[in-house]
Amino acid sequence: MKKLILLAAALPSLAFAAPITQSPAQLRDAALEGDTVAWTMLEGLTTEVGQRLAGTEAEARARAWAVRELTRLGFANVHVEPFDMPVWVRGEEHAEILSPFPQSLVVTALGNSGASPASGVEAEVVAFETVAALEAAPESAVRGKIVFIDHHMAPTQDGSGYGQFGAPRRTGPSLASRKGAVGVVVRSIGTDHHRNPHTGVQSWAAGVQPIPAGALSVPDAEQLQRILSRGQPVRMRLTLTPRNIGTRQSGNVVAEVPGSDPAAGVIVIGGHLDSWDLGTGAIDNAAGVAITTAAAHRIMQAGQPRRTIRVVLFGAEEPGVFGGQAYFDRHHQGDNVVLVGESDFGADRVWRVNITLAPANAAVGDRVAALLAPLGIVRGTGAANAGADLGPWSRAGVAAIDLNQDGTRYFDYHHTPDDTLDKVDPVQLRQNVAAWTATIAAAADAPEAIERAGPPRAAR
Ligand SMILES: [Zn+2]
């Protein structure tokens, strides 16, 4: 008997666990008051691993770290699901105005940037206010030049400008190369006025020759604009020497709180483990990793939910959602996933919930919205898209919940050297954990079946 008790205490397995007796509201309030799991995880990952560029040894160390932590926290079925991906790494990065006013500008390479010679490329700068202006320009205006796209982004609470304002970064380089440019720099897709450039991925369109492609910090882009406005030809030397190092392994880290009713389906939540290499990836996305893990952990501590809660910490989101796609490809035919949601917009307070459920499940959505209202969270009228990594599930018709964080300052730090732990407010972090805890506790123990939200739809 003694032996049996010891065994039960030593195993994280929930085979002996009782159903959850605390209400989702009680779990929510306890998280809001006193969660320490999220901060501990966020502090640990950013301190003990640091930056986690996808496909590199740093990201591999993050997976090993996550497996250790999730195991220590008592999750079941902790494992890594590896996948292969092409890996790009940063090199030297300099931008200099050679004439008429010689000076250095702060630049960083965009993901998948082509490489210049070690001595850089030198050319006259041609500026465009928008991608559309570049698109409309004749090749003769661009050939042999360094293109500068000076496109401003303004902060919004819901981050809605990113899709529109991100276009220069995502499509500008291919367009510039196609017209014969020898290099391209964009004004950073950011809302701060610090001398920190914002990196981020861009992909070369089919058949396009990669060229050096960088982002200037916002003050440096404004400086270049003032220099150009003097009306004299401006020559720049752009030195970016990143490398493609071939196919490497990344992976998704998976952990579970096993449910008591396998037929009720699985809820998948998570964030992405990889980050850009300039900061320590605190808001993007150690925060999402920590928030969703802490929520699942709190529910697990309270008892056994009806549905399995699966936490997936995705690899390689930043260079193109490789982990999210690999996870969907591997599981979408075999696994009965009934609800998905990703946290990937920092750690400022959740202000809105968007819920996409089947009409028959309207009551589930109403219960979740009622649980979130005391946290100051309003119910939105938009569709939930489950974030980049779980978006494929949402587009396939699986029910989804988005807990939208206040994004007003998110793009001050996003993808910069300034994405570090001190930018996270522990009080707002706990509010995030409280919101996810209440949402997932209510959904995991919902007595009704959670149905598909609708037919598959195309990516936006
Ligand atoms: Zn992210």
pLDDT digits (tens, 9 = 90+) for 92-121: 999 999 999 999 999 999 999 999 999 999
Judge whether residue 156 has pLDDT over 90.
no
Helix, strand, or coil here: 451?
coil
pLDDT digits (tens, 9 = 90+) for 321-375: 999 999 999 999 999 999 999 999 999 999 999 999 999 999 999 999 999 999 9
Report which DSSP code applies to 284.
Answer: I
Q: What pLDDT is stored for residue 330 in this prediction?
A: 98
**Does an H or E element contain 251, and which?**
strand 243-257
Alpha carbon distances (Å) from 304 to 19, 161, 227, 294? 5, 41, 64, 16
Q: How far is the CA of 284 from the centre of ligand 1 (A)?
A: 5
Q: How far is the CA of 283 from the centre of ligand 1 (A)?
A: 8
pTM to 2 decimal places? 0.94
What mean pLDDT value characterizes the chain? 95
Q: How far is the CA of 282 from the centre of ligand 1 (A)?
A: 10
Q: What pLDDT is stored for residue 8 in this prediction?
A: 42
Q: How far is the CA of 146 from the centre of ligand 1 (A)?
A: 29
Q: How far is the CA of 285 from the centre of ligand 1 (A)?
A: 5
Judge whether residue 2 has pLDDT over 50.
no
Q: How far is the CA of 148 from the centre of ligand 1 (A)?
A: 26
What is the b/e burial string over 8-29, where b = at least 16 CB atoms within 10 angstroms of the residue's CB? Answer: eeeebebeebeebebebeebbb
**Does an H or E element contain 215, and which?**
strand 213-216
Q: What are the φ and ψ backbone dihedral angles of 120, each rounded to 5 degrees?
A: 90, 175
Q: DSSP for 312-339, please give it.
A: EEES--TTT-HHHHHHHHHHTTT--EEE
Distance, CA of 61 to CA of 67 (rounded, Å)? 10
Q: What pLDDT is stored for residue 457 in this prediction?
A: 83
Q: Is the peptide bond before 252 cis (omega within 30 degrees of 0)?
A: no
Distance, CA of 94 to CA of 106 (rounded, Å)? 7
Q: What pLDDT is stored for residue 92 in this prediction?
A: 98
**274 within 8 A of 318, measured Cβ to Cβ:** yes
Q: What pLDDT is stored for residue 189 in this prediction?
A: 92
Written as one letter, the residue type at 131 is: V
Q: How far is the CA of 342 from the centre of ligand 1 (A)?
A: 10
Judge whether residue 423 has pLDDT over 50.
yes
Query: Which residue is it, tokens 């450039």?
Result: 197
pLDDT digits (tens, 9 = 90+) for 260-286: 999 999 999 999 999 999 999 999 999
pLDDT digits (tens, 9 = 90+) for 161-182: 787 778 778 899 999 999 999 9
Instruction: Express as a percent the part of the chain with pLDDT over 90.
Output: 91
When pLDDT is cut at 50, 70 and 90, the band that residue 243 belongs to is: very high
Q: What pLDDT is stored for residue 167 in this prediction?
A: 79
Alpha carbon distances (Å) from 239 to 97, 109, 180, 202? 12, 9, 18, 18
Q: How far is the CA of 9 from the centre of ligand 1 (A)?
A: 37
Q: How far is the CA of 315 from the centre of ligand 1 (A)?
A: 11
